Amino acid sequence: MQMRFHVAPCRTKTVENVRQRFVELGFEPTLNRKKSQTSGARKLLDGQEEAKIIAMRLGSPPDGYGKWTLRWWVVELEIVETISHETVRQTLKKVA
């Protein structure tokens, strides 16, 4: 039985970086790299805060509003100290 491997294309720089790590660190650390502690952005809302936003969204809009608006969320929301309209939009997009 012959095994087949799919090799995804990669840049020359990627191969050079892997080769450099292999020379400096050895085989095992090169294959099992730890994720950087600084990679990725810190999450602004925890699960409970997201749930509050979603629950509020599922209710009827506040008096004087025909529908929910992102501007209303940013101004009126008191779940966290500061929040951008983009964070609210992405949170609501999860359940849309």
pLDDT (tens digit per residue) in 27-57: 888 888 776 666 666 677 778 877 877 777 7
- 45: which DSSP letter? S
Nearest to 51 by CA among 96, 89, 95: 95
d(CA 14, CA 43): 28
Chain center to CA of 52: 19
Q: What is the model's pTM? A: 0.44
